[in-house]
Amino acid sequence: MARYALLLLPSANRVYAVAAAASLAQAELELFSRRALGGSLGDLEPTTIAGVPYITFQAAAVDERAAAFLANLSSGYALFEYGNGGLLRPVTLAPLDRYDDDLITIQKYHGKTNEQFTKLLLNATVLSSAFAGDMLSRKLTVLDPLCGRGTTLNQALMYGYDAAGLDLGRQDFDAYSAFIKAWLKRKRVKHHVGYDGPVRREGKVIARRLQVSLAATRDAYKAGVTQLLDVVNAPTERSAEFFRPASVDAIVTDAPYGVQHGSRTAVKGLARNPLDLLAASVPVWAGLLRPGGAIGIAWNTLVARRQDAAQILADAGLEPQEDRPYLGFRHRVDQAIMRDILVATKPA
């Protein structure tokens, strides 16, 4: 058995409180171990080495496959084998990232979900699905049905996945649409805007939609190995009008916090509590998930209780995950927000 030490991204302590950063990283590492690495990482614990916080763990060996998975930890900065005598030997990590990271970091706006947290939520959801083992090798389809200005979509693109999104906010849609088209041009990413405009039904405009196919390399683009970005400006309760049943591998979303954003449902108007929005939308979202798929929702536990959100998922035929490490994601964001993650799977 060898011992390894994961150095956390320095920014993790700005995104989360110091203690929360360590426990979130530990929960995420546990999920990678359990869902993608056959439970091969043991004895995980926060450890301070020469005054610097790490998460350490035991493993027979971190082979190439394990290193490829661990390279995508949301708060991992570097991984070392932690040898006798306290020596740290670096393990090479090659993350999935296929575009410049300003795709994710450059947009700044009020109400943006933190990028690092979004990556954690995407990882936790994909790892919980039946497709965890394909996380690095298959082009998965990720839907964010409350996508705002696209933090989840950009992270999904970064991983090489197809990204679908939906948001009611016209300003959010327009801002994201303008951003992504400008970014693709500026970065000279090969792409094709397949559709950009209103969606009409029976003579009425019911939504706006942007569909872009893109590829990280010219060769991939030429060979038709492209990713699809598909964003719709419409109420999320109507997602099934825009996306095919059982077409999505993972649904990843950050629900309104009842603080800066409200939750808007067609029936009740603007509400502080996201439960009404979830109750109206989760059954629709569940229909879009492939059997074996998973849904990961982040929300503010100060406005909606975990058990109530879990019940809505269960009522839609999904299986909420309620054991460790899933109970290790709760953390304070600020005075008004205590954020948590709820993951549920669709039976295969």
Q: List contacts with ligand SAM (CB under 6 A).
A: 111-113, 146, 148-149, 151-152, 167-169, 172, 235-236, 254, 256-257, 261, 263-265, 277
Q: How far apart are CA 330 and CA 51, in angstroms?
A: 26
- Min. distance of Cβ 303 from ligand SAM in angstroms? 12
Q: How far apart are CA 1 and CA 302, in angstroms?
A: 43
Q: Which of 37, 55, 36, 53 is nearest to 45 (CA)?
A: 55
- Min. distance of Cβ 112 from ligand SAM in angstroms? 4
Query: Whose Cβ is closer to ligand SAM: residue 22's or residue 231's?
Result: 231
- Helix count and strand count (H, E) for the chain: 10, 17
First to last CA, the chain: 35
Query: Whose Cβ is closer to ligand SAM: residue 226's or residue 265's?
Result: 265
Query: Whose Cβ is closer to ligand SAM: residue 5's or residue 168's?
Result: 168
Residue nearest to ligand SAM (CB): 148
Paired strand residues for 81: 4, 89
β-strands 162-167, 263-265: how paired? unpaired
Query: Whose Cβ is closer to ligand SAM: residue 59's or residue 277's?
Result: 277
Q: How far apart are CA 118 and CA 151, in angstroms?
A: 7
The token duo for 289 is 């998930």
- Min. distance of Cβ 274 from ligand SAM in angstroms? 8
Query: Whose Cβ is closer to ligand SAM: residue 55's or residue 277's?
Result: 277
Q: What DSSP character marks residue 266?
A: T
Strand locations in the chain, DSSP E?
2-8, 42-49, 52-59, 76-82, 88-91, 141-144, 162-167, 190-201, 204-215, 227-233, 248-254, 263-265, 269-271, 289-300, 319-320, 331-334, 337-345
Query: Whose Cβ is closer to ligand SAM: residue 6's or residue 252's?
Result: 252
Query: Whose Cβ is closer to ligand SAM: residue 148's or residue 293's?
Result: 148
- Min. distance of Cβ 16 from ligand SAM in angstroms? 17
